[in-house]
Amino acid sequence: MGLLDGKQGLIFGVANDRSYATHIARSLVEHGATCSYAHLPGVKNERRTRKAIETLGISDAQLYPCDASSDEDFDKVFESYAKDNSRLDFVIHSIAFAEREWLAQGKFASTPRDAYLSAIDISAYTLLAMGQRARAQMADSGGGAILGMSYYGSEKVVPGYNVMGVAKAALECTARYLAAELGEQGIRVNTISGGPLKTLASSAVGGIDTMLEHTPRIAPLKRNVEGTDVGGAAVWLVSDLGAGVTGENIYVDCGVNIIGAAE
Protein backbone atom coordinates (compact mmCIF):
# COMPACT_ATOMS: atom_id res chain seq x y z
CA MET A 1 0.00 0.00 0.00
CA GLY A 2 1.36 3.43 -0.99
CA LEU A 3 1.49 6.43 1.32
CA LEU A 4 -0.41 8.45 -1.30
CA ASP A 5 -2.93 5.87 -2.53
CA GLY A 6 -6.13 7.65 -3.59
CA LYS A 7 -4.56 11.13 -3.54
CA GLN A 8 -4.86 13.30 -6.64
CA GLY A 9 -3.30 16.62 -7.49
CA LEU A 10 -1.81 19.13 -9.83
CA ILE A 11 1.88 19.77 -10.52
CA PHE A 12 3.22 23.01 -12.00
CA GLY A 13 6.78 23.08 -13.32
CA VAL A 14 7.63 19.96 -15.33
CA ALA A 15 9.78 21.37 -18.14
CA ASN A 16 11.99 18.34 -18.78
CA ASP A 17 13.32 15.21 -17.06
CA ARG A 18 15.74 17.28 -14.94
CA SER A 19 13.08 19.58 -13.44
CA TYR A 20 12.58 19.40 -9.69
CA ALA A 21 8.88 18.97 -10.52
CA THR A 22 9.63 15.78 -12.50
CA HIS A 23 11.55 14.31 -9.55
CA ILE A 24 8.69 15.25 -7.24
CA ALA A 25 6.14 13.74 -9.65
CA ARG A 26 8.14 10.50 -9.86
CA SER A 27 8.20 10.12 -6.07
CA LEU A 28 4.50 11.01 -5.66
CA VAL A 29 3.51 8.53 -8.39
CA GLU A 30 5.74 5.79 -6.91
CA HIS A 31 3.83 6.20 -3.65
CA GLY A 32 0.42 5.88 -5.30
CA ALA A 33 -0.61 9.46 -6.22
CA THR A 34 -2.33 10.42 -9.47
CA CYS A 35 -0.90 13.60 -10.94
CA SER A 36 -2.12 16.12 -13.52
CA TYR A 37 0.25 18.72 -14.91
CA ALA A 38 0.25 22.38 -15.94
CA HIS A 39 2.81 23.53 -18.50
CA LEU A 40 3.70 26.77 -20.28
CA PRO A 41 1.36 27.26 -23.28
CA GLY A 42 2.52 26.26 -26.75
CA VAL A 43 2.86 23.01 -28.67
CA LYS A 44 6.60 22.79 -28.07
CA ASN A 45 6.23 23.24 -24.30
CA GLU A 46 3.41 20.70 -24.15
CA ARG A 47 5.52 18.18 -26.06
CA ARG A 48 8.48 18.78 -23.75
CA THR A 49 6.38 18.31 -20.63
CA ARG A 50 4.68 15.19 -22.01
CA LYS A 51 8.05 13.68 -22.89
CA ALA A 52 9.28 14.23 -19.32
CA ILE A 53 6.13 12.65 -17.88
CA GLU A 54 6.57 9.67 -20.19
CA THR A 55 9.90 8.98 -18.44
CA LEU A 56 7.73 8.22 -15.38
CA GLY A 57 5.97 5.49 -17.38
CA ILE A 58 2.81 7.58 -17.83
CA SER A 59 1.44 8.17 -21.33
CA ASP A 60 -2.09 9.43 -20.62
CA ALA A 61 -1.54 12.26 -18.13
CA GLN A 62 -3.92 15.24 -18.08
CA LEU A 63 -2.07 18.36 -19.18
CA TYR A 64 -3.31 21.94 -18.89
CA PRO A 65 -1.64 25.00 -20.45
CA CYS A 66 -0.91 27.87 -18.05
CA ASP A 67 1.12 31.02 -18.30
CA ALA A 68 1.56 31.85 -14.64
CA SER A 69 1.41 35.59 -15.34
CA SER A 70 -2.23 35.20 -16.41
CA ASP A 71 -5.13 35.05 -13.95
CA GLU A 72 -7.36 33.79 -16.79
CA ASP A 73 -5.01 30.87 -17.37
CA PHE A 74 -5.04 30.00 -13.67
CA ASP A 75 -8.85 30.15 -13.64
CA LYS A 76 -9.02 27.81 -16.64
CA VAL A 77 -6.52 25.31 -15.21
CA PHE A 78 -8.29 24.94 -11.87
CA GLU A 79 -11.77 24.88 -13.50
CA SER A 80 -10.68 22.23 -16.00
CA TYR A 81 -8.94 20.20 -13.30
CA ALA A 82 -12.07 20.29 -11.12
CA LYS A 83 -14.22 19.12 -14.07
CA ASP A 84 -11.83 16.24 -14.80
CA ASN A 85 -11.07 15.17 -11.23
CA SER A 86 -13.31 14.57 -8.24
CA ARG A 87 -10.68 15.52 -5.66
CA LEU A 88 -7.71 17.83 -5.17
CA ASP A 89 -5.31 16.66 -2.45
CA PHE A 90 -2.14 18.50 -3.44
CA VAL A 91 -0.75 21.30 -5.57
CA ILE A 92 2.98 21.44 -6.31
CA HIS A 93 4.35 24.90 -7.14
CA SER A 94 7.74 24.32 -8.80
CA ILE A 95 7.97 27.36 -11.06
CA ALA A 96 10.16 30.44 -11.03
CA PHE A 97 11.34 33.06 -13.43
CA ALA A 98 13.76 36.00 -13.46
CA GLU A 99 15.46 37.59 -16.43
CA ARG A 100 18.86 35.99 -16.84
CA GLU A 101 20.55 39.37 -17.27
CA TRP A 102 19.94 40.24 -13.60
CA LEU A 103 21.16 36.90 -12.27
CA ALA A 104 24.82 37.70 -12.78
CA GLN A 105 27.18 38.46 -9.93
CA GLY A 106 27.33 42.17 -9.13
CA LYS A 107 24.07 42.95 -10.98
CA PHE A 108 21.55 43.09 -8.14
CA ALA A 109 21.82 46.82 -7.51
CA SER A 110 21.07 47.50 -11.19
CA THR A 111 17.87 45.41 -11.34
CA PRO A 112 15.13 47.47 -13.04
CA ARG A 113 11.63 47.72 -11.60
CA ASP A 114 9.96 45.53 -14.24
CA ALA A 115 12.50 42.71 -13.83
CA TYR A 116 12.10 42.84 -10.03
CA LEU A 117 8.31 42.79 -10.23
CA SER A 118 8.10 40.03 -12.81
CA ALA A 119 10.42 37.81 -10.71
CA ILE A 120 8.16 38.25 -7.68
CA ASP A 121 5.01 37.87 -9.77
CA ILE A 122 5.91 34.56 -11.44
CA SER A 123 7.98 33.08 -8.62
CA ALA A 124 6.00 34.11 -5.52
CA TYR A 125 2.57 35.68 -6.16
CA THR A 126 1.64 32.54 -8.10
CA LEU A 127 1.63 30.48 -4.89
CA LEU A 128 -1.16 32.74 -3.65
CA ALA A 129 -2.91 32.53 -7.04
CA MET A 130 -2.85 28.74 -6.79
CA GLY A 131 -4.00 28.69 -3.16
CA GLN A 132 -6.96 30.94 -4.00
CA ARG A 133 -8.16 28.61 -6.71
CA ALA A 134 -7.31 25.30 -5.01
CA ARG A 135 -9.02 26.18 -1.75
CA ALA A 136 -12.63 25.16 -2.44
CA GLN A 137 -11.92 21.80 -4.08
CA MET A 138 -9.25 20.95 -1.49
CA ALA A 139 -11.62 21.77 1.34
CA ASP A 140 -14.26 19.52 -0.30
CA SER A 141 -11.61 16.78 -0.45
CA GLY A 142 -11.15 17.01 3.32
CA GLY A 143 -8.06 19.22 3.18
CA GLY A 144 -4.83 19.06 1.25
CA ALA A 145 -1.22 20.12 0.83
CA ILE A 146 0.27 22.97 -1.18
CA LEU A 147 4.02 22.80 -1.64
CA GLY A 148 6.44 25.34 -3.13
CA MET A 149 10.15 25.13 -3.99
CA SER A 150 12.52 27.61 -2.41
CA TYR A 151 16.27 28.12 -2.02
CA TYR A 152 18.64 29.32 0.70
CA GLY A 153 19.28 32.55 -1.26
CA SER A 154 15.99 33.72 0.32
CA GLU A 155 17.73 34.43 3.59
CA LYS A 156 21.45 34.75 2.89
CA VAL A 157 23.19 36.53 0.05
CA VAL A 158 24.25 33.94 -2.53
CA PRO A 159 26.27 35.67 -5.26
CA GLY A 160 24.32 35.70 -8.54
CA TYR A 161 20.99 34.64 -6.98
CA ASN A 162 20.06 38.31 -6.68
CA VAL A 163 16.41 39.18 -7.39
CA MET A 164 15.49 35.50 -7.22
CA GLY A 165 16.53 35.59 -3.56
CA VAL A 166 14.04 38.39 -2.99
CA ALA A 167 11.36 36.38 -4.79
CA LYS A 168 12.10 33.28 -2.70
CA ALA A 169 11.82 35.32 0.52
CA ALA A 170 8.40 36.45 -0.74
CA LEU A 171 7.47 32.86 -1.63
CA GLU A 172 8.34 31.52 1.83
CA CYS A 173 6.47 34.37 3.52
CA THR A 174 3.47 33.89 1.22
CA ALA A 175 3.42 30.22 2.24
CA ARG A 176 3.26 31.20 5.92
CA TYR A 177 0.40 33.68 5.46
CA LEU A 178 -1.51 31.23 3.28
CA ALA A 179 -0.93 28.46 5.82
CA ALA A 180 -2.40 30.68 8.55
CA GLU A 181 -5.59 31.38 6.58
CA LEU A 182 -6.16 28.00 4.94
CA GLY A 183 -5.37 25.85 7.97
CA GLU A 184 -8.96 25.94 9.20
CA GLN A 185 -9.98 24.05 6.07
CA GLY A 186 -7.32 21.41 6.64
CA ILE A 187 -5.06 22.86 3.94
CA ARG A 188 -1.35 22.85 4.73
CA VAL A 189 1.14 25.10 2.91
CA ASN A 190 4.88 24.47 3.06
CA THR A 191 8.04 25.09 1.07
CA ILE A 192 11.05 22.88 0.50
CA SER A 193 14.37 24.69 0.32
CA GLY A 194 16.19 22.47 -2.16
CA GLY A 195 19.91 22.30 -2.74
CA PRO A 196 21.38 23.33 -6.11
CA LEU A 197 20.48 21.01 -8.99
CA LYS A 198 21.41 21.48 -12.64
CA THR A 199 18.16 22.39 -14.44
CA LEU A 200 16.97 24.82 -17.11
CA ALA A 201 16.09 27.46 -14.51
CA SER A 202 19.23 27.07 -12.43
CA SER A 203 21.48 27.35 -15.49
CA ALA A 204 20.33 31.00 -15.69
CA VAL A 205 21.74 31.71 -12.22
CA GLY A 206 25.23 33.19 -12.44
CA GLY A 207 26.67 31.35 -9.43
CA ILE A 208 25.18 27.85 -9.99
CA ASP A 209 28.49 26.13 -10.82
CA THR A 210 30.08 27.57 -7.67
CA MET A 211 27.10 26.38 -5.61
CA LEU A 212 27.41 22.85 -7.04
CA GLU A 213 31.14 22.80 -6.37
CA HIS A 214 30.81 24.32 -2.88
CA THR A 215 28.14 21.97 -1.47
CA PRO A 216 30.00 18.61 -1.52
CA ARG A 217 33.00 20.34 0.00
CA ILE A 218 31.26 21.89 3.00
CA ALA A 219 27.88 20.15 3.46
CA PRO A 220 27.57 17.67 6.35
CA LEU A 221 26.54 14.93 3.89
CA LYS A 222 29.49 15.75 1.57
CA ARG A 223 27.44 15.58 -1.61
CA ASN A 224 25.03 17.55 -3.73
CA VAL A 225 21.33 16.97 -3.38
CA GLU A 226 19.58 14.61 -5.81
CA GLY A 227 16.08 14.89 -7.21
CA THR A 228 14.99 11.87 -5.16
CA ASP A 229 15.95 13.66 -1.92
CA VAL A 230 13.44 16.41 -2.68
CA GLY A 231 10.93 13.89 -4.08
CA GLY A 232 11.01 11.96 -0.80
CA ALA A 233 10.44 15.08 1.28
CA ALA A 234 7.54 16.03 -0.99
CA VAL A 235 5.93 12.61 -0.42
CA TRP A 236 6.19 13.13 3.34
CA LEU A 237 4.72 16.64 3.20
CA VAL A 238 1.86 15.67 0.87
CA SER A 239 1.05 12.46 2.76
CA ASP A 240 -0.82 12.13 6.03
CA LEU A 241 2.57 11.64 7.73
CA GLY A 242 2.97 15.40 7.33
CA ALA A 243 -0.49 16.12 8.79
CA GLY A 244 0.85 18.35 11.57
CA VAL A 245 3.27 20.38 9.44
CA THR A 246 2.26 23.70 7.94
CA GLY A 247 3.84 27.09 7.28
CA GLU A 248 7.31 25.53 7.32
CA ASN A 249 10.32 25.80 5.08
CA ILE A 250 12.04 22.41 5.08
CA TYR A 251 15.69 22.24 4.01
CA VAL A 252 16.57 19.37 1.71
CA ASP A 253 20.11 20.43 0.89
CA CYS A 254 22.43 17.85 2.46
CA GLY A 255 22.68 20.21 5.43
CA VAL A 256 24.66 22.94 3.71
CA ASN A 257 22.48 25.70 5.24
CA ILE A 258 23.73 24.96 8.78
CA ILE A 259 27.36 25.69 7.92
CA GLY A 260 28.70 29.21 8.56
CA ALA A 261 31.29 30.86 6.36
CA ALA A 262 34.85 29.96 7.30
CA GLU A 263 36.63 31.01 4.15
- If one asks whether residue 20 binds ligand NAD (CB under 6 A), the answer comes out as yes
CA 101 to chain centre: 22
Which residues 6+ apart lie within 8 Å of 212 measured at CB? Answer: 196, 198, 224
Shortest distance, CB of residue 196 to ligand NAD, whole angstroms? 4
141 or 256: CB nearest ligand NAD: 256
CA 230 to chain centre: 10
H or E, element range at 190:
strand 187-194
The number of CA neighbours under 13 Å toward the Cβ of 5 is: 3
- Residue of the chain from 10, 15, 179, 182 that contacts ligand NAD (CB under 6 A): 15
Q: Which residue numbers are catalytic?
A: 151, 161
For residue 187, is it left (φ>0), alpha (ψ between -120 and 50) or beta? Answer: beta
Q: Which amino acid is at 168?
A: K
Shortest distance, CB of residue 62 to ligand NAD, whole angstroms? 16
Residue numbers 60-119 binding ligand NAD by CB under 6 A? 66-69, 94-97
H or E, element range at 113:
helix 113-120
Residue numbers 117-136 binding ligand NAD by CB under 6 A? 122
Which span sits near ligand NAD by CB under 6 A: 10-18, 129-137, 177-185, 215-223?
Answer: 10-18
Shortest distance, CB of residue 85 to ligand NAD, whole angstroms? 20
- If one asks whether residue 200 binds ligand NAD (CB under 6 A), the answer comes out as yes
H or E, element range at 9:
strand 8-12
- Residue of the chain from 4, 149, 219, 256 that contacts ligand NAD (CB under 6 A): 149
Q: Which residues bind ligand NAD (CB under 6 A)?
A: 13-15, 19-21, 40, 66-69, 94-97, 122, 149-151, 194, 196-197, 199-202
